[in-house]
Every structure is written in structure tokens, then in C-alpha cells.
Amino acid sequence: MRLPVSPAKRRMARNDEDSNFLNTPAQRRTRLIPLALWLGLLVIPAILSAAQPDSVGRAYIAIGSMAQTVGGDMDGATYFEDSYRLYMVPKVSSGLGLKVALGARDLRGSIEAYYGTAAHDAGWLSIPLSARRHEVGVSWRINAVRRSSLQYFLMTSFFLQFLLVSDGVIVDVPYSLDDRPEDEKFSGWGVKLGPGLRYNLSPLFALRGEASYVIAEFSSLAGRDIEGVGSNGFSWSVGLLYAFERLKGN
């Protein structure tokens, strides 16, 4: 495969002992800043909410849409290189997919574990690509309005993300005029923060919609550490909740 132009190469260092991509200590310390802010956002609402034990909890399942933009350093014009392989950093369009969750809530809010996946169109220079993003995380919601059919809440999530790009690696095959494409896998983490609304259709069913700003990065490529590739963006979701038992006061 012939590259259409000469793209920009992202900074890469080699470790003589394990031949892994490296993160500098300064970069690792910088990545702890958003994590510390996220922990603060969790602790403060939890303390305030714990002072008002006025509800009985219940478990629920939820299913709905998941959409997210992937921006930041995913520019479609840079790459990593190692030995005979060139790893593309593609530009990824917004994608729409499915999200399922299992959680527990009371009148103060909720906590849930979730999994979501979405298909994305992607591209690197003039090369069209396709990608699929997977997300596994935990969400916390603090209700601002209680004992009402329409409830407003603040949501924060911490998640792990995986981006699988079809033919995102160009392999230079020795003693051959043809290059061989391979799939590539980015791995990383992220934090979401934003508002949402839930409308209780009945004691057991509810509709929920939410939107959030996403702070995220990919810190691993093909199983090896890389300098952080930011993937900040926006996320939104609409879904249906089913509770396993009636919530007192609703």
C-alpha cells in the first residue's frame, strides 16, 4: 500500500529492556489530574446524599441508545511506528450503538454498571476505515428532584474504552513489494459528567435521557503503552428502565 502523503509521526521512545512504547513520568502525573477531579465529584455528592436516608432502594435493568463523538488527538493524520508496522491514528466520526445496564436506585439517586458498543466510520489521510468502540463502566446519579414523576439528576461515569479499527495497521513485509493490512486495537479510559432527566411512566417503567461531556484518552495500542492520545468528546443516551420492585414514595 502506498501512502498518499507523508503524515506526521507522533513522538515515540523505545525501552531497551522490553521494547515497549513509553510514557514519561510527567505525562503519567498529568493524567492523574482529571482522575482526582472525578473522585472529588463523587465524594462530595455522596456525603451530602448520605445525610438524607429517606428512601428504600430497588434494582433495575436499562437498555437504550449510546452515541458519542471521538475527537481530541484522533486527527486522521498522525501515526505510531514500530519495526515493520505503521499504526494509524484515525479520525473517527460520531457513532450510534446500544447500551445495557444493571443498577440499583433509591430516591436520592442510583449506581449502575453498564456496557455499550457503537460502530463508527473512520479514515486516515485518504484511506477509508471502519471502527467499533466498546465501553465498560460504572455510573453514579444524584437526583436534584425527588418524589416526582419527572426527575432531574447529575450523572458522572468512569469507564474503560476499546477502539477496534479494521485494517488500521500497515505491515511492511520483508522481501515483498506488497504491504499487509492488520486490525489495530486502542485501549484507554475516560470520565463523563453531565445532566439528565428521567420520566417515571409507572412504578416499574421509566424513560431516561442524558447528555455529558467526555474526558478520555487512549493509553495503549496493540497491548503496549503509548503517549496519551486524547479522545475527548460528547456523549448522549436515551433508554428505557425496568425496575424489579416498586419504589416506596414513587
Of residues 42 and 193, the one with the higher pLDDT is 193
Provide the mean pLDDT of the chain.
80
CATH tag for 23-51+58-243 (out of 2.40.160.20, 3.40.50.720, 3.40.50.920, 3.30.565.10): 2.40.160.20
Closest CA to 198 of 119, 84, 122, 107: 107
Residue 55 confidence class, pLDDT cut points 50, 70, 90? very low
Select the more confidently predicted residue: 3 or 237.
237
What pTM value is reported for the model? 0.75
3-state SS class at 222: coil
Q: What integer is the mean pLDDT of 33-58?
A: 51
As a whole number of angstroms, the distance between CA 49 and CA 62 comes to 23
At residue 19 the predicted structure's pLDDT band, cuts being 50, 70 and 90, is: very low
pLDDT in the model for residue 205: 92
User: What local confidence, expressed as pLDDT, does residue 36 receive?
Assistant: 57
Percent with pLDDT over 70 in the chain: 72
The rounded radius of gyration (Å) of the Cα atoms in the chain is: 21
What is the per-residue pLDDT across 64-74, written as a single tens digit (0 to 9) for each?
999 999 998 99
Locate the domains of the chain by residue range. Answer: 23-51+58-243
Nearest 5°: the CA angle 88, 217, 7 is 25
The residue whose grid cell reads 425496575 is 243
